């Protein structure tokens, strides 16, 4: 099947390369000339495990191509995916200008009937707006074919996006009047051969809300566990024990029950705020989600204050930070907790030296130049002369450090573990001050 994908960010590029890898002929469209040129050379503009291999292989097999022209990409296509960004607006709502602009262009350039699929994360009712924009342009042109619109939200985890797309736990498709049902079944058949029941065909508005609801539920679990971890510190409980006890209940499950520095990334913060705003526009107040958002913002401040409270005054202190990306397996630093933590440390007078296996460049762009912020390409080099180590992102590189080497490099043997990755009594025995989130540590003296 010939497919067009508009947008080559995480969603668009993964969608395009994976569809090509199962035999579809895919043309990806982007207005960024430099990005298109880079992709044509077989280089990915994002870090995602496995993406460049798929990109190169399918380009060589002539199943995957890249262009700046939507007009040419629509030639012979049965489906066009809209996978452009929906950034958070100033008021927290989703900015739909790019989605609607693509819809207008589809209406202007399509030469025959095809299925338009909204892959971007969008508020309830957006597919209706997309359909209206397309129909408006078709009417202006006086053509006699239709372009039905479907909703098909993505459920990809950065760092595991290829695996998620190739082996989905579910594929959600929203259709009105069943238009496009057979085309989408044919498109996704290679991914659900073992279990066709994983393809859910529902109405468009339910499909759109399923995406927001899923991310909002996961964000809620994270914020709840972080608040519970704070209570653990007060009453002397251990959040790891609580987590295991809760997770053994099949009604709750074990995932997304880990305490940490707060959620980040391109989805959870933006989608939580967008769902709150979307509900408000329909006269509904999302009280639980408003509290989730507030708790997440506070958690980033809470862990930052741990460092300041230990030293009292951070002026003249050198803090090493391990982990800049919002999660391991990606170079994405959008809404990463590290941004808030580093900004706080700098504002409080500290000097910060940071390391990340993949995200130094993207974090540098995000933060801009600061006289007291530097980076090292080697994790141990970042520790040189440091008064404390702050672990923010749980990369495998940091899982089993050489503590003798860590202690020798640092000026003070102080570790703040915001991912609860290390064993308290091991560090106590090595002479470290150790602080984590919601577990017994040096603050309580218990292990």
Q: Measuring CA to CA, how many Å separate 88 from each of 120, 160, 175?
A: 13, 24, 26
Q: What top-level class would CATH report for the domain 229-435?
A: alpha beta
Q: Please tell me the pTM assigned to this model.
A: 0.91
Residue tagged active-site, from 18, 28, 267, 353 = 267
Q: State residue 340 phi and psi, 5-degree precision.
A: -65, -40
pLDDT, residue 398, reads 97
- CA-nearest of 368, 294, 299, 356 to 326 is 356
* Nearest one of 51, 286, 284 to 159, comparing CA atoms: 51
Confirm whether 2-202 and 229-435 share one CATH topology.
Answer: yes
| pLDDT at site 443 | 61
Which residues have C-beta within 8 Å of that of residue 306, sequence separation ≥ 6?
A: 416, 435
pLDDT at 447: 42
Mapped onto helix, strand or coil, the DSSP state of residue 29 is strand
pLDDT given for residue 444 in this prediction: 55
Report which of 287, 343, 349 is spatially closest to residue 318, judged by C-alpha positions.
349
Active site residue 267: yes
Neighbours of 404 (CB within 10 A): 9
Collapsed DSSP state (helix, strand, coil) of residue 246: helix
List, run by run, the mean pLDDT of 10-residue segments along the chain (447 residues): 96 97 97 96 92 96 96 96 90 90 96 96 94 96 95 93 95 92 95 94 96 96 97 94 97 96 92 94 96 97 96 96 96 95 98 97 96 97 98 96 97 97 93 93 56
What ranges do the domains of the chain cover? 2-202, 229-435
The CATH class given to the 2-202 domain equals alpha beta
> Do the beta carbons of residue 401 and residue 426 sit within 8 Å?
no
Distances, alpha carbon 201 to alpha carbons 181, 188, 269, 283, 389, in Å: 8, 12, 27, 28, 49
Q: How many CA atoms lie within 13 A of 301 on its CB side?
A: 5
Q: What are phi and psi of 174, to 5 degrees?
A: -110, 120
Q: In this predicted structure, what is the pLDDT of residue 90?
A: 78
Can you tell me the distance from the alpha carbon of 276 to that of 18, in angstroms, rounded to the nearest whole number? 32
CA angle (253, 166, 73) in 5-degree steps: 135
């Amino acid at each position: 099947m010939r497919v067009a994908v508009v947008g080559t960010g995480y969603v668009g590029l993964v969608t395009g390369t994976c569809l090509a890898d199962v035999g579809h002929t895919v043309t990806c469209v982007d207005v960024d000339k430099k990005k298109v040129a880079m992709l044509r050379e077989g280089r990915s503009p994002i870090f995602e495990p496995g993406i460049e291999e798929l990109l190169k292989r399918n380009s060589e097999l002539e199943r995957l191509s890249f262009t700046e022209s939507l007009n040419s990409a629509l030639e012979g296509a049965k489906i066009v995916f809209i996978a452009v960004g929906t950034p958070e607006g100033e008021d927290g709502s989703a900015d739909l200008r790019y989605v609607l602009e693509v819809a207008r262009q589809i209406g202007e350039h399509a030469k025959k009937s095809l299925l338009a699929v909204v892959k971007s994360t969008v508020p309830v009712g957006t597919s209706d707006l997309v359909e209206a924009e397309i129909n408006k342009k078709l009417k202006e042109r006086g053509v006699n074919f239709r372009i039905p619109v479907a909703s098909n939200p993505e459920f990809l985890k950065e760092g595991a996006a290829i695996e998620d797309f190739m082996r989905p736990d579910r594929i959600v498709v929203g259709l009105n009047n069943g238009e496009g049902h057979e085309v989408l079944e044919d498109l996704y058949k290679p991914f659900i051969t073992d279990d066709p029941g994983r393809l859910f065909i529902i109405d468009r508005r339910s499909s759109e809300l399923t995406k927001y609801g899923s991310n909002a539920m996961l964000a809620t679990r994270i914020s709840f566990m972080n608040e519970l971890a704070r209570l653990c510190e007060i009453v002397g409980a251990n959040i790891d024990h609580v987590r295991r006890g809760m997770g053994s209940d099949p009604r709750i499950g074990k995932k997304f029950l880990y305490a940490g520095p707060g959620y980040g990334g391109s989805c959870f913060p933006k989608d939580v705020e967008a769902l709150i705003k979307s509900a408000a526009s329909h006269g509904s107040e999302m009280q639980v989600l408003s509290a989730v958002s507030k708790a997440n913002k506070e958690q980033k401040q809470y862990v930052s204050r741990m460092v300041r409270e230990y030293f009292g005054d951070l002026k003249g202190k050198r803090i090493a930070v391990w982990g800049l990306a919002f999660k391991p397996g990606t170079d994405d630093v959008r809404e990463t907790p590290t941004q808030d933590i580093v900004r706080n440390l700098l504002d409080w007078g500290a000097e910060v030296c940071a390391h990340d296996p993949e995200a130094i460049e993207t974090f540098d762009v995000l933060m801009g130049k600061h006289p007291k912020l530097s980076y090292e390409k080697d994790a141990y080099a970042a520790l040189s002369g440091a008064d404390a180590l702050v672990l923010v992102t749980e990369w495998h590189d940091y899982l089993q450090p050489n503590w003798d080497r860590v202690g020798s490099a640092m000026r003070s043997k102080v570790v703040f573990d915001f991912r609860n990755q290390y064993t308290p009594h091991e560090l106590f025995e090595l002479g470290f001050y150790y602080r984590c989130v919601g577990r017994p540590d040096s603050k309580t003296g218990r292990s």
